Amino acid sequence: MREKLEALRDEALEKVKQAEDKKALQEVRVAYLGKKGPITEVLRGMGKLSAEERPVIGQMANDVRDVIKEQVDSKESALEEAAIEAQLASESIDVTLPGRPVQAGSTHPLTAVVEEVEDAFIGLGFSVAEGPEIETDYYNFEALNLPKDHPARDMQDSFYFTEELLLRTHTSPVQARTMERYQGKGPVKVICPGKVFRRDDDDATHSHQFMQIEGLYVDENVRMSDLKGVLETFAKSFFGAEREIRLRPSFFPFTEPSVEVDVSCGMCGGHGCRICKHSGWIEVLGAGMVHPRVLEMSGFDSTKYSGFAFGMGVERLAMLKYDIDDIRHFYTNDVRFLAQFKRN
Ligand code: FA5
């Protein structure tokens, strides 16, 4: 019996030594220390032993069981520790590795131009007003002196939802909406940036959707010279101090008189070149003195108040400023194009 227990102990301890993982160790534990294991069997057979042998063999069986259990437990702790060490080693981070660069975006050139124009006019005492992109026929046309049968409506082919509801064709309806809010009391001094829509065919200089910035100043004694002064100040701040403007007679139903405003060509300094079609000037916006009928329709007394208004295409401003040859670059979202407009 003694030899058998010693052999069992040596065999178990050898298997503990060989166990490479917790699963193998658990098998040793069950095989030698479990209820159906050989040591339990020895203890169960104690009754058959003599009275002298019983305590000796009993003690020995207990010792063998204890030593196997102790070895299994300590091997288990060692395996757990080794597993943790291995995990730590495999998950270690090399903090000296350079990080992957994050591509920083940039402000869209049209947004940048709108912000720059806003800043220039805020500096001249204007505030920013906005209006809806889905507009009523009344504000888009009628309140601007363009009744339903007016031929000048053809200048702005429109996207209609119903007979009365359309995508606004210009930012001028914000003029009428803003004046109504002021309830006949000046001064009104706002600029209104926003998207507009026309049934124009897309080409290098036209888009069916583009942006405009409207300007409106209504007060007592506002004169054409005020319009010229404000636009000249703006042109010099936006395009450069050396640039000049000129006003040419034009027609808009909502202004009288109406003008087209040209800025001297930045490429040739006004001498004439391919860019300005050899005229020395480039057209940038439409403007004029607010028509008395428009003032009256929006609740202003046209014998007391006068005003000027202007409307410019944002894409056109951006194309002139950055020498961009195709309006479609603004909408195709090619990052090689957009990344050139990173601001510091
Ligand atoms: C108007 O839209 C007037 N509401 C401007 C105005 C306001 C005049 C206040 C007087 C007083 P016009 O249709 O010319 O005017 O458009 C103004 C600018 O929008 C043009 O100079 C041009 O830069 C831009 N524009 C017009 N159509 C397109 C288009 N299809 N694509 C891109 N830009 C355009």
| 56 shares its domain with 183 | no
Give nearest CA residue, ligand 1 atom 32.
Answer: 206
For residue 72, the tally of other CB atoms under 10 A from its CB is: 20
Find out whether the beta carbon of 140 lies less than 6 Å from any atom of ligand 1: no
Determine the atom of ligand 1 nearest the C-alpha atom of 287.
10
| 190 shares its domain with 310 | yes
Give nearest CA residue, ligand 1 atom 21.
Answer: 285
The residue out of 90, 118, 151 marking a domain boundary is: 90
- Which residue numbers belong to the known binding site for Mg(2+)? 256
The residue out of 90, 122, 139 marking a domain boundary is: 90
pLDDT at 93: 83
Domain that holds residue 195: 109-341
The residue out of 59, 90, 121 marking a domain boundary is: 90
Is residue 74 in some structural domain? yes
How many alpha carbons lie under 13 Å from residue 64 in its C-beta half-sphere? 26
Distance of CA 201 from the midpoint of ligand 1 (Å): 15
Cα torsion 258, 222, 128, 325: sign: positive
pLDDT at 113: 95
| 127 shares its domain with 264 | yes
| 83 shares its domain with 114 | no
Find out whether the beta carbon of 316 lies less than 6 Å from any atom of ligand 1: yes
| 135 shares its domain with 64 | no
| 266 shares its domain with 119 | yes
Q: What is the CATH number of the domain that holds 192?
A: 3.30.930.10
Domains: count for the chain: 2
| 155 shares its domain with 268 | yes
pLDDT at 155: 65
Strand partners, 211: 195
Q: pLDDT tens for the chain, 344 residues: list them.
A: 778 888 888 888 898 899 888 888 888 888 888 888 888 887 788 888 888 888 888 888 888 888 899 988 898 898 899 889 888 888 888 889 888 888 888 899 999 999 999 999 999 999 999 999 999 999 999 999 998 888 777 766 888 999 899 999 999 999 999 999 999 998 999 999 999 999 989 998 899 999 999 999 999 999 999 999 999 999 999 999 999 999 999 999 999 999 999 999 888 888 988 878 899 998 899 999 999 999 999 999 999 999 999 999 999 999 988 888 899 999 998 989 998 887 65
Residue type, 19: A
| 86 shares its domain with 162 | no
Is residue 95 in some structural domain? no
Distance of CA 136 from the midpoint of ligand 1 (Å): 19
| 80 shares its domain with 220 | no
Give nearest CA residue, ligand 1 atom 5.
Answer: 311
Find out whether the beta carbon of 309 lies less than 6 Å from any atom of ligand 1: yes
Determine the atom of ligand 1 nearest the C-alpha atom of 212.
19
Give nearest CA residue, ligand 1 atom 14.
Answer: 286
Is residue 101 in some structural domain? no
Cα–Cα distance for residue pair 165/62, rounded to 1 Å: 97
Distance of CA 163 from the midpoint of ligand 1 (Å): 23
